Amino acid sequence: MITLCLAGMTASILGSDVQLKVDPLMVVSTGEVWDVIAKADNPVWPGWNAADTPILIYLPGVQDVLINHPRLPADFTAYDGPVKSQAGPIFVRDGKTIIDFDGQNTSRDVFGVQTLVIADTLSSRKQDVSYLLSDPRPADEKARELTYDRLRPNPYDHLALVAHEAFHVFQHRKAPNKGGNEMALAKYPVLSVANNVGFALEGEALAAALRAKTKDEARNAAVRWLAIRKDRRREMPAEAIDYEDGTEFNEGLAKYVEYRLLQVLEGRTPNPQLYLAQGFRGFPDLSAERERLIDQAVANLRGEVNVNNDPYGAAPARMRMYYSGMAIAALLDRLTTGWHEQILQPSTTLTGLAESAINASENDLTAALAQAKSGTGYEELVRRKEQLAQEGQGFVSRILEEIEKNPHGVLVVDYSALGNPRVGLSFTPFGILAVDDSRTIYRMLPLTAQIGSARISQSESRPALEDKKSKQLVFPLTADPTSAMASIGEALGTAEARKWDPLEFPGVKLEGVRGTICWDGPRLVVQLSR
């Protein structure tokens, strides 16, 4: 038996010393997608040409691979080995990478150009394993879930991911200020029974619309969806509705691009190198892959997907909007035309476009809502969401107690003396856990904050609390701070404000700080002043 392995393939056999250390199949995938989206008549989204969009594939601390980038620093080296991408020339840099943490698939400024960013296969898998390790269930129960299907990367997902992140670059150009305000997640009704029941019903209606055999059947299911959405949103705060609309535009449309790509690729002849990927079977019929996306939409909208081991926080709520946006956009394809240009306008929403295309009467909506709530399983759905809310409140209380009773104490950054400063936080929206209207817990990634000239950053991910009412940030310390406090000396506890730069405590670093420091054992308080 001969085993082919592309990982770590070098170009030395062709006369070059440059080694490709990222998954080469990801490089091949970019070229396959570029053959579809990098042209004026892009069939995935009218008016989008990705020909000038650069690509970054990174393996943290190992290698950056930049493809088609026009402004490369001198420390990048051209790669001319056997792995090619139709997206453009390939350049690599070993060692320190632009992004030093795992699993970041996004778009961002890279050397002055908006670039699509993809984490290497190993990086994404490492992140998945870390989530699994942090899952509190017994090890044997988690091991039973490690099926080969779960461990094996899906090559069609790789293709979809490339299109998804490339589309974010296009969105940034066409509608740079349109999208959900992630801070709204701090007040989003994550545990609301009515909201969670309504979203679950929306998922069933949207799936029925996408699977309908005729346009009339699709419209009937769409009327049911619209009735459910209008009823669900009736009691929601405007900020939460705006967040849904913005995130469905930003992430939902990028997910829709994945769905469209799986329609456009069908019947094409693929790059032969793609057949080296486990599970790749060509493009003769991709209906099963599209059905998988619809299944995922139903499961996510029902709250049945484990997102970051966070059933009670913002992660599953945010993820459901990827799929609701995808499904609404795919529904619009069935009901109307010309919506791709309209949705890029500042005040246009997917819900608004769908409502116009459906054009349902109030009587139709009333009847459809009654039908949705009379279906089998409705009462059981309500019961499960009531149980989720109860369990979620208990979980939030436990996390809050863990912060307050951290064995090494906590660092409190108090900015109440500054009046109403602008507080800038850098966090992952998948790690938000709302406590109440004024308190929010941030998890999953290290939190950084900018308050005036003061910059505060965690060295590792520990739950951190923001209290807007008290104007405080609370960070659990990772070790006893006694030795760190020795450098402060006589200035500790004095009333006179002074500059501190930097201040380093176990797990937290402060720079550009002016204020006083008080230590009473479990609470180390830095009081910021002007």
Does the pLDDT at position 489 exceed 80? Answer: no
Tokens coding 438: 């004024």
Lowest mean pLDDT among 31-40, 236-245, 348-357, 510-519: 510-519
Which is more confidently placed, 146 or 250?
A: 250
pLDDT of residue 14: 37
Start-end of H helices in 405-501: 482-485
Give the mean model confidence (pLDDT) for residues 22-42. 95
233 — pLDDT class (breaks 50, 70, 90) = very high
**For the ranges 8-12, 170-174, 278-282, 523-527, which has the lowest average pLDDT?**
8-12
φ/ψ region of 394 (left if φ > 0, alpha if ψ in -120 to 50, else beta) reads alpha
Query: From its phi and psi, is residue 467 left (phi > 0), alpha (psi between -120 and 50) or beta?
Result: beta
Q: In what order do the strands lie in the sheet with 508-511?
A: 423-426, 448-451, 454-458, 508-511, 503-505
Average pLDDT of the chain is: 91
Over 80: is that where the pLDDT of 30 sits? yes
**Residue 490, pLDDT score:** 61
More confident residue, 500 or 167: 167
- Structural element, H or E, at residue 383: helix 378-404
Q: What is the dihedral of CA 103, 105, 108, 112, to 10 degrees?
A: 80
pLDDT in tens, 275-312: 999 999 999 999 999 999 999 999 999 999 988 888 99
Spell 111-138 as b/e; 16+ CB within 10 A means b: eebbbbbbbbbbbbbbbeeebbeeeeee
DSSP 389-428: HHHHHHHHHHHHHHHHT-TT-EEEEE-GGGSS--EEEE--
Name the band, by pLDDT with cuts 50, 70 and 90, for residue 16: low
Task: Quote the pTM value.
Answer: 0.88
In the predicted structure, residue 2 carries a pLDDT above the cut 50: no
Residue 244 identity (one-letter amino acid)? E
Percent of the chain with pLDDT over 70: 96
DSSP 295: H
Q: pLDDT band at residue 57, thresholds of 50, 70 and 90?
A: very high
Quickly state the pLDDT bin for 1 (edges 50, 70, 90).
very low
Which residues share a beta bridge with 19?
10
The pLDDT value recorded for residue 491 is 61
- The per-residue pLDDT for 152 is 79
How much is the pLDDT for 17?
77
- Strand 113-119 relative to strand 410-414: parallel, antiparallel, unpaired? unpaired
Type of residue at 193 = V
CB-based contact 493:517 (threshold 8 Å): yes
Q: What percentage of the chain exceeds 90 in pLDDT? A: 78
H-type alpha helices, 38-114: none
CA 248 to chain centre: 12
Residue 493 reports pLDDT greater than 70:
no
Mean pLDDT (whole number) for 460-464: 93
Tokens of 503: 């201040």
**With contact defined as beta carbons under 8 Å apart, do 419 and 425 qualify?**
no
Residue with the larger pLDDT of the pair 33 and 135: 33
- Segment 368-379 shows an average pLDDT of 92
Q: Which of the pair, 376 or 433, is modelled with greater confidence?
A: 433
Q: What is the rounded CA–CA span in Å between residue 125 and residue 104?
A: 12
Q: Tell me the pLDDT band of 257, cut-offs 50, 70 and 90.
A: very high
Q: Give the model confidence (pLDDT) of 124-173 as tens digits.
A: 888 877 877 777 788 888 788 778 877 778 999 999 999 999 999 999 99
Q: Does 482 have pLDDT greater than 80?
A: yes
| DSSP-assigned states of every residue in 222-262 | HHHHHHHHHHHHTTS-HHHHHHHHHHIIIIIHHHHHHHHHH
Given a cut of 90, whether residue 253 has pLDDT beyond it is yes
pLDDT at 12: 35
Structure tokens at 224: 């049911």
| pLDDT beyond 80 at 9 | no
Please tell me which residue, 11 or 272, carries the higher pLDDT value: 272
Helix 253-264 crosses helix 155-174 at what angle (to 10 degrees)? 130
| Mean pLDDT in residue range 501-515 | 92
Tell me if 210 sits within 8 A of 152, measured CB to CB: no
The one-letter code for the residue type at 345 is Q
Lowest mean pLDDT among 120-124, 353-357, 409-413: 120-124
Give the span between the Cα atoms of 128 and 475, in whole angstroms.
26
Give pLDDT, residue 495.
67
